[in-house]
Amino acid sequence: MNTTTVLDLIAAREAAASAARDELLQQQAKLAAEVAAIDAALADLATTRQTLTKILEDEVTASEPAVISEPYQQILAVFTPDRGGLRAKDVCRVLGIGTEPKDTEGIRAKLKRLVNRQILTESQPGLFTLNPERT
């Protein structure tokens, strides 16, 4: 075997190794970009989780009758432990507001929120009472 042939073989192997290295470096750069994108998504999810946790903690705090807004406090004042169940229209009458559908639907929505906060219960559809556990 002559020297030229051996040098050609070495050059061919160098070229192949160089091409393989370049391809691996490109793959490495692509993977690094994908990892960076996933890291960013994970950071966003962590921020979202923290924000949602804070909102939910605030919601739980806001579910206490002493700190909920005035309209809800007015509604809660209508309910007493000895009073039977009330419908949205009954609450509207006691509060002295209209009993038109727009009025009763607004009150009904608030009553449902109070049920979700476990301050009121809905013993029958549309019939609301104080939650016995909260009285």
For range 68-75, the mean pLDDT: 83
Residue 90: is its pLDDT beyond 80? yes
Please tell me the class of the 66-130 domain. mainly alpha
Token pair 């009954």 in the structure block, residue: 90
pLDDT one-digit tens code per residue, 103-135: 899 999 999 988 988 889 998 899 999 887 765
Cα–Cα dist 127/86, whole Å: 5
Q: What is the pLDDT of residue 65?
A: 47
64/134: higher pLDDT = 134
User: 131 in the Ramachandran plot: left (φ > 0), alpha (ψ -120 to 50) or beta?
Assistant: beta
pTM confidence score: 0.50
Mean pLDDT of the chain: 86
Q: What is the pLDDT of residue 95?
A: 92
Write the CA distances from 46 to 49, 56, 70, 76, integer angstroms. 5, 15, 34, 37
Domain ranges of the chain: 1-62, 66-130
Q: What is the pLDDT of residue 108?
A: 94
